[in-house]
Structure 1
């Protein structure tokens, strides 16, 4: 088949890679001059199956009330005259119910673990270099109540096969000696040895180059304006996609199938077709620092719970990302939030980095209320979704790309996950909530 993929972040590029491996003729449309120049450009760089607890949980509601009015709060909410934002918030409240939280964790762990295994296979196959570190992810807490609350989610993840194991303060410092200055503040943590980190931008650029060598066509500086459709009922089809090409001309491109991987911009594109996605942009920040004292900088990827920050060593750089701002589609930097990141990192690792010359960045994470992405079919027979991965686009990217290639090709992906528009695998086939697939890595 001829397949058009809309978007070239990690999710869109991985989709194109696996679609091409399945034998399809693939074209990728991207409004930027290259791949991974938006949400995939400078995120926290963690492959974190252990970070599967969704934002929507009973504890978050109390935190949001506490953070109201703080410009540097980990979660900043600015009310907009936007019906989607209001609907999204109502859905978010529903997802905070305990029963829904557990099922969402099961789904997130399932696709994240499948994706981690898939990434390993791609790394072996392609030999890509992207500053990968396979030293696990260490999650530390400075608030005893927050640590106590985390234990139930960690236990559920261990039940699902994700080895998120509690560790004491002494064990934390043994794993990451650079945290020694925080000894008196750390109350506990957990460590997931199978998690890892790496530069998502470098990986996506490298994978796109391999995909292009294999025959995938990338059309950059090409803005998608709308999808054209025809038919009714079960016979509805997408007939083409209207674009403004690199020369400023309006064109219509045809294909047999279309995959939407536009992150936060998927919802407005699909709304005219009667497809209402609960995806709202959550502006996330990152700061990248040049390391000037290698011994004082962390070598294990970290999650700082109290400040909702993740930290990853990328060669001679330290990437720190986190916080979330629900404020529409603007990517404007808020100086108060940038300064808060640098203050925290300087306090954690004084003298480790050049804190006077950080590189700040913001990207729009495509958040669903549940943190579970849309991967699967739509009411249009040839229109598919691979979007809404929120803060876990890098973690879920390769697995999502592989799964959507299966779905486009008429195959059921090999894991238990609530794929959009498709029946969910039963427990007799996979085991409810299992994050493991016996044949997941077969090519």
Structure 2
């Protein structure tokens, strides 16, 4: 089958790889000059299935109100603007803020993320691909007793999903991450997830794209995607700056821009851009740096070791498709890193922002679109695109190929919002 994948980020590239492995003729289209240059470019660097948690939970409404009233270093910022799409998305998010929905959504996310980590491990073993990767686990750091109490529900769900985890004392945290020694007084406990990993998603995407090209995949870069032409229940072509492109099947993997492409087809995809920021700085002192990756629960900031660099990423901002770099968001990232580690040169840091494609229930949208027999979606991964990339790519390839999937996938499609 001839298949067009729209988007050359980590999701689109892994989709193309697995489709090609099944013998399909694949073309990937992207407006950028190379793969992985948008949301995949400088994310937090964590492959964290154990940390796969939906935003929407019973405590979110009250917590969000507190964050919005917080003048400095709030993990969540909602910029004042009239945006119907944002209001609708928030309404759907709030409908998922109950214990029953939280358990369902988290179990779905864990299912995809765990499968994806296994697929990534198999891909690395098959190809020898490297990307500043480390397989040393993740520690979620708690600075208050309230945070420790709150994590008990997630630990129960981790146990039900048979995901290894341990609640660490401060001394045990320092055994794993000695670079935190000078921050001992800030810590109460930590949740250790030994199965989590880290690595540079941008490096991974670029190297996998080259391997995919060698396998026969065609990448059309510098090509703007303008829209899709449909007749009855079938997509006929994609309109691009390079002309009309035609295929037997089409996969939309355009992250936050996926809803804009689908809207003229009267397909409502409940994905909204949640803006995140990161700093990438050179490592200057091994004794004050992470050996793997940690999450600062207080500021919702991730700090990850990527070779001789450190990636500090996090915060969430609802501001539409605005890519302006906000100085106050940088201050939050710098504060978290300085308090916990400090072994990097912040003055030499590269500051970046990207748009995470979030669904209101936290689970990505993977599967067919019922209105069109040859249209497929692989998008809406939020902060977990890197974590879920290989599993999502393998799932969509198996679904299109008509092959039985390794994990249940029916509840991952757009139809769950019907």
| Residue-by-residue CA offset, 1:204-233 (whole Å, 9 max, x unaligned) | 1010000000000000000111000001xx
2:149 is matched with 148
Alignment TM-score, normalising by the size of structure 2: 0.97
Q: Report the 3-state secondary structure (helix = DSSP H, G, I; strand = E; otherwise coil) of the residue aligned with 1:68.
A: helix
CA distance in 2, matches of 1:81, 1:237: 35
Shift of 1:422: 7.2
Q: Report the 3-state secondary structure (helix = DSSP H, G, I; strand = E; otherwise coil) of the residue aligned with 2:192.
A: strand
In the alignment, does 2:43 pair up with 1:43?
A: yes
In the alignment, does 2:200 pair up with 1:199?
A: yes
1:329 is matched with 321
In the alignment, does 2:258 pair up with 1:260?
A: no
1:6 is matched with 6
* Residue number among 383, 390, 393 corresponding to 1:401 in the alignment: 393
1:230 is matched with 231
| Residue-by-residue CA offset, 1:366-413 (whole Å, 9 max, x unaligned) | 010111010000020000000000000000000000000011112232
Q: How large is the Cα RMSD of the aligned pairs?
A: 1.2
Shift of 1:421: 5.6
| Residue-by-residue CA offset, 1:281-313 (whole Å, 9 max, x unaligned) | 000000011111122211021011001011110
Q: Report the 3-state secondary structure (helix = DSSP H, G, I; strand = E; otherwise coil) of the residue aligned with 2:185.
A: coil
Is residue 137–residue 300 contact of structure 1 (8 Å, CA) maintained in 2? Answer: yes
CA distance in 2, matches of 1:282, 1:213: 34
| Residue-by-residue CA offset, 1:77-101 (whole Å, 9 max, x unaligned) | 1243222111101000011111000
2:413 is matched with 420
Is residue 228–residue 235 contact of structure 2 (8 Å, CA) maintained in 1? Answer: yes
Is residue 71–residue 337 contact of structure 1 (8 Å, CA) maintained in 2? Answer: no
How many residue pairs align between the two structures? 413
Is residue 132–residue 306 contact of structure 2 (8 Å, CA) maintained in 1? Answer: yes
Change (3 A) 1:264 1:422: closer
Is residue 50–residue 163 contact of structure 2 (8 Å, CA) maintained in 1? Answer: yes
Change (3 A) 1:324 1:422: closer
1:276 is matched with 268
1:429 is matched with none
Is residue 301–residue 336 contact of structure 2 (8 Å, CA) maintained in 1? Answer: no
* Residue number among 345, 352, 356 corresponding to 1:354 in the alignment: 345
In the alignment, does 2:368 pair up with 1:377?
A: yes
Is residue 165–residue 191 contact of structure 1 (8 Å, CA) maintained in 2? Answer: yes
> Which sections of structure 1, spanning at least 5 residues, go unmatched?
246-250, 424-443
Shift of 1:63: 1.8
1:308 is matched with 300
Q: Report the 3-state secondary structure (helix = DSSP H, G, I; strand = E; otherwise coil) of the residue aligned with 2:321.
A: coil
Q: Report the 3-state secondary structure (helix = DSSP H, G, I; strand = E; otherwise coil) of the residue aligned with 2:372.
A: coil
- Comparing 414-423 with 208-217, greater Cα deviation is found at 414-423
2:98 is matched with 97
| Residue-by-residue CA offset, 1:257-294 (whole Å, 9 max, x unaligned) | 00000000000110111110110000000001111112
Shift of 1:340: 1.8
Shift of 1:154: 1.7
Alignment TM-score, normalising by the size of structure 1: 0.91
Change (3 A) 1:317 1:274: same
CA distance in 1, matches of 2:372, 2:404: 18
Shift of 1:162: 1.3
Q: Report the 3-state secondary structure (helix = DSSP H, G, I; strand = E; otherwise coil) of the residue aligned with 2:228.
A: strand
CA distance in 2, matches of 1:143, 1:54: 21
CA distance in 2, matches of 1:256, 1:164: 44
In the alignment, does 2:219 pair up with 1:218?
A: yes
Shift of 1:71: 5.6
Correspondences of 1:18-97 after superposition (within 5 Å)? 18-69=18-69, 70=71, 72-97=73-98
